Amino acid sequence: MVATAPRTRAEIPADDTWDLTAIFPDKAAWEAAIESVRADLPRLTVMQGTLGEGAGQLLAAFALQDSIGNRLGRIFAWAGLRKDEDNANAEAVANYDRAVKLSVDASEVGSFVEPEILAMPDGVIESYLDGEPALAVYRHALESLLRQRAHVLSADQERLLAAAGEMAMAPGQIFSMLNDADLRYGTVTDEDGNSVVLTKGSYSRFLESRSRDVRKQAFTLMHQAYRDHRNTLAATYAASVKADAFYARVHNYGSTIEAALSPHNIPLDVYDNLIATVNGRLGLLHRYIALRKRVLGLDRLGVYDLYVPIVAEVKREFTWEAGVETVLGALGSLGDDYRSVLAGGLDSRWVDVYENVGKTSGAYSWGVYGVHPFILMNWSSQLRDVFTLAHEAGHAMHSHYSSNTQPYVYSHYTLFVAEVASTVNELLLTDALRRQTDDRLFEAYLVNHVLEDLRGTLMRQTMFAEFERWAHAHVEAGDALTPDLMDSRYAELCRTYYGPDVEVDEHVAAEWSRIPHFYRAFYVYQYATGISAAAALSRQIIEEGEPARQRYRAFLSGGSSRYSIDLLRSAGVDMASPQPIDRALDLFESLIDELERLLGGADSH
């Protein structure tokens, strides 16, 4: 059989690609923007040492920083999105590297601002705020900065650290090039005997195959590719963790996790509480896996058996157009304005739809202030793609409302709430699909889908969070992160979380080496807190209607104008309490009961 391969970029119709001319009409305009930023950097430089001269000078510095940041955001987005279309495009990669360099240069030039503000005597900033009404927009940013006074160094020291920023980004960039451009995974013999090239885009489809042999082939080939580079990947990740530890240490934080949470005023208890609460109820995950084992009729599961739908013969494919219609129909409870804006965006090339050779894997949304969000997809016509679209549309609309409501300084929502809006959309989609069907097996499939979301997002990401915290603590203690050590620790966590019914072998143990989010320290726990908050918010929207919708819209529009904990609390969810995590786990338990009912018993496969 002839192996099938993804299309080249040139073979993708333009209407199925994003329209980057919304950012810059052509490369010449991108180059002009770079020159405009470079021309303004000296204007910012000469302000060093002058911020204490008065409120007007501080306001001028902030305004110039915002202007540079806004333009730099567009420069970086245009280059990053273009690179992600095809990571083997040398010119696009070079342009992205130039954008990274410019970003580092701008960070270095502006690095004096925070130390200079923090060096001012107590009471000066408050007097500035009282005397200059136009400075009031920066009150929250200034108060947040002053709260971090102990962690900001002198202007010269911060400038030196900013200059080193490009080197600190190198481990993640090296991983990205290996992961997205260089690694090859071989071919899988599919259910029909066809030899199919294994890509990250096709991987999840293979894991959902009804053929256990296909699932095992895909899983083994994928992870063997990373095992073949385990020493390189271990060194790359260890370098990333060392960079995190270095920056935490020089900024006077007690740990890397404190450095990650403190700037956004997230209590460390939130992280500890998540891990403790999930660990205290891992029996639910073991129960669900035991149910899965019985339904699939297996004596023991491989990790590659955890993704196949356990409801037989549920196969629904969606064209892109049908997927868009399904998502828009499911989000009606968020209001006409929400649905109208999203429909317009999806119809005007916000989205890069299909996989092509060299394209960045997975999916994401990239908000561009003053333009609109962009969504990367790798559409393969599966139901999971519909859920992915709903998810990324949630990110995009969060960016839209924040950017259109807040000034530039508060236009970006924080990492802590980054996954809330996306997960609300997924839960609303599930609810809509369940209400629309009278097909018992399809409803069971949807219930299983939510169970999988909770398993993968609440429990699996908490497992990742445990691994990540262990890795950072290990380096902070002065110990080395070797591939054998990381394999061993990751395997131990898998055995604890998955329980006795899942076989953990050397390929499972290597999974840590292919997780891109590990290069963004202490990000993944927010998937788990996010789905917990989203479960509560989506239920409020469904049950309360307009009052909950208004609170939710205010949350989406809040950007970073308040601390994330406070924005969520105003929306109706208190993440400082263990209750949202417990309620999400209660939902997991009730869905196991529901799945057993819909299947008519665990042995009905």
Cα 589 from Cα 587, distance rounded (Å): 5
The mean pLDDT of the chain is 94
Q: In the prediction, which pLDDT does 241 show? A: 98
Distance CA(456)–CA(426), nearest Å, equals 14
CA distance 501 to 300: 5
**Residue-wise pLDDT tens digits, 39-85:** 999 999 999 999 999 999 999 999 999 999 999 999 999 999 999 99
**CA dihedral angle for residue 135, residue 136, residue 140, residue 146, rounded to 10 degrees:** 50
Told to judge if 392 belongs to the known catalytic residues of this protein, a careful annotator would answer: yes
Q: Which has more pLDDT, 318 or 600?
A: 318
Q: What is the pLDDT of residue 312?
A: 64
pLDDT higher than 80, residue 603:
no
- B/e letters for 291-321, b = 16+ CB within 10 Å, e = fewer, are bbbbbeeeeebbbbbbbbbbbeebeeebebe
- Token pair 């494919």 is found at 317
Across 292-309, average pLDDT:
94
Could you read off the pLDDT of 537-596 as tens digits, one per residue? Answer: 999 999 999 999 999 999 999 999 999 999 999 999 999 888 899 989 999 999 999 999
pLDDT for residue 153 = 86
Categorize the per-residue pLDDT at 602 as very low, low, confident or very high, splitting at 50, 70 and 90.
very low
- Give the residue ranges of DSSP H helices in 55-169: 55-85, 90-109, 113-118, 124-131, 139-147, 155-163, 165-168
Residue 2 pLDDT more than 90?
A: no
Span 187-210, mean pLDDT? 93
pTM of the model: 0.81
Q: Which of 140, 22, 154 is nearest to 81 (CA)?
A: 22
Where are the chain's structural domains? Answer: 9-168
- Among residues 532, 515, 513, the alpha carbon closest in space to that of 524 is found at 515
Mean pLDDT value across residues 469-476 = 98
Residues 424-433: tens digit of each pLDDT: 999 999 999 9
| Mean predicted confidence (pLDDT) in 522-536 | 93
The pLDDT assigned to 1 comes to 40
Residues of the chain above pLDDT 90, percent: 86
Per-residue pLDDT, 434: 95
Give pairs for 323-328: CB < 8 Å, separation 24+: 323/379, 323/385, 323/386, 323/389, 324/389, 326/386, 326/429, 326/433, 327/386, 327/389, 327/390, 327/393, 327/425, 327/429
Amino acid at 226: Y
Give the pLDDT mean for 313-327.
Answer: 90
- Which architecture characterizes domain 9-168 according to CATH? Up-down Bundle (1.20)
CA distance 404 to 440: 42
- pLDDT value at position 313? 57
- What percentage of the chain carries pLDDT values higher than 70? 98
Q: How far apart are the C-alpha atoms of 18 and 547, rounded to whole Å?
A: 35
Stretch 107-113: mean pLDDT: 94
240-285 confidence digits (pLDDT tens): 999 999 999 999 999 999 999 998 899 998 999 999 999 999 999 9
Banded model confidence at residue 314, pLDDT cuts 50, 70, 90? low
Contacts of 87 (CB under 8 A, 6+ apart): 93, 176, 177, 180, 181, 358, 359, 360
Residue 133 structure tokens: 């009404």
**How confident is the model over 288-300, as a mean pLDDT?**
95
End-to-end Cα, the chain, rounded Å: 32
pLDDT 10s digits, 342-382: 999 999 999 999 999 999 989 999 999 999 999 999 999 98
| All residues at 6 or more sequence positions from 76 whose CB lies less than 8 Å from its CB, including other chains | 99, 100, 102, 103
Nearest to 508 by CA among 523, 537, 527, 487: 487
Which residue out of 392, 419, 468, 476 is catalytically annotated?
Answer: 392
